[in-house]
Structure 1
Amino acid sequence: MPAPYNANTTTTELVTDYKALIKNKIILTTGVTPGSLGGSFVQSLAKAEPACLILAGRNTAKLEQCVCDLQTANPELKTRTLQFDLGSLKSIRSAADQVNSWSDIPAIDVLVNNAGIMATEYGLSEDGVESQFATNHLGPFLFTNLIMGKILRSESPRVVMVTSDGHRLSPVRFDDYNFDGGKTYNKWVAYGQAKTANMLMALSLSSKLGVKKGLLAFSLHPGVIFTNLGSHLDWSGDVGLQSIDRQLGNREGWDEFNLKTLERGAATHVYAAFDPALKANNGAYLIDCHVADWLVDTVKSWGTSSFEAERLWKLSEELVGEEFAY
């Protein structure tokens, strides 16, 4: 019988259970900063003797602080850092070139697309795409595909997309992903669109490369954790989230937040990256260290549709200016 993992499971418990699966693995994680889910995730993995932890992020100083903390606690740990901006296709291409040039990193066993932004004011990326859709989806889409050759050299390749139950707020707006130049913009609807895209990307990867190449891909909701992701929002008042949920008829419009600690939040990262039983559920959306249950958990059909996933793949190729035919 599988272990009864749930919302209270911690990274420490999972790393203990999966130690043999983590040992000697090369794991690349984006969005690693002190006091974040990404930071908590890599700190937990370091105890299981991975071959190398690659820490990626936008802020070099924060990356170096994480490396310092990791190696202070784990002197023998091998690390690499990778600085790039997920909101810039040019920056992403440069970072992917770096990864592909590393001769001492023959393969990447697990890629965790953890970085993202949430409920920001309207803006466009340098490539002309709404900033949340650009940073949370297009950036990981391009980066993942550009380093796919190294991922597929692993004996057990996995890609993890950190999404959110916030996908409930919107499907992908295929004909108006830029919100009519900001005229129809709502920061939470835009967040929902981007998080739905994360789910659909995992679904596409599992469909295109699961049977052919043995790639496992999953999306996950880590839970509600107050990190620097939402530090720009005043949570003491109405940030606009509850009113949208009520308009949509989502139960979250009336529920109170069920807060998690970082160690409980990052547990589903570990579960998605290493649980062996998940092979039977390739492409699944995960929550609280289990495959999401449509009867209990918030799962919108627009985030699990193979039709929507293929439609998004084509749109994403168009927006990044490159096709990835697997």
Structure 2
Amino acid sequence: MSLNPSPLPDSDFTASGRRVLEVETRALQALHDRIGPDFAAACRLLLGCTGRVVCTGMGKSGHIATKIAATLASTGTPAFFLHPGEASHGDLGMVTDADVVLALSNSGESDEILTIVPALKRQGNPLVAMTGRPQSSLARLADVHLDVSVPAEACPLGLAPTSSTTASLALGDALAVALLEARGFTAEDFARSHPAGSLGRRLLLHIRDVMHTGEDVPVVAADVSTAAALLEMSRKRLGMTAVVDGDGKLCGVFTDGDLRRALDDEDTDLHATPISALMGRNPKTIGAEALAVEAAHLMEEHKISALVVVDDQRRVIGALNIHDLLRARVV
């Protein structure tokens, strides 16, 4: 094999890449047309599983089975990958009689998988097989067989698994999503299994987790001077202050933007003008139990950088700004 750079023009590389995608697109279309009763039967077996879905496969099929197991587990169907070679040397003990086995083999003749099938059958594990040969040994032994045969591999030699692994991966995704929908799995459920990811932070973090409370909340009475309100804003450093009435209920908000507009008016005396004359009277607010991502959406939609947090009686209980959301990595 030559290690010298190829003399081929760029157009040959792009043509090759497009050909691969065309071949694999045809493989997925063929798979789409075969989705039917067998797919539904597999879904029912997996949905009725009281244990876990044990995904197994050798070589490239093993890599696909690993990804399918991860997708199932993160979308509400407990699953894990079992290496079939290791299974016959003790790891088969990881499989309980409550589990369903999903076995991948393009040929349907992988020795390592066929070796462990009798033990699985003896234990009573339902077997779903995903192969490219409906007449193969594994297909015949399965309770449900899913045909992932493809018209052609994208590899021009017909040797490297390409279209076949793409088809298997896509069918695994189809199983996972069908089960997700059948379970009524929600975005919040997904976030609970991804607490360290950005999605988990976005979906699980509430306003109460990021807002400023107590003495850190900028609040002034409606009858104080604008100069006094500015002092409160400066101390609390949120770029705004809430303005409350005599009952402690929110009646307005004064922001950095309001200050700039006041300074543009030469007739405004900041020491003599009450804050109630300059505050915004219809401020955007949010509740403490709302998700932090909702605050980000409000700020983006209304082009503001801070929010007052109120209770059901519109009493001020907190405040936050865009920097709080950035620190929490919500945005």
TM-score, normalization: structure 1? 0.30
Give 1 or 2 for the bigger CA radius of gyration: 2
From the two aligned structures, give the one with the greater strand fraction: 2
Q: Which has the higher contact order (CA 8 A, sep 6+)?
A: 1
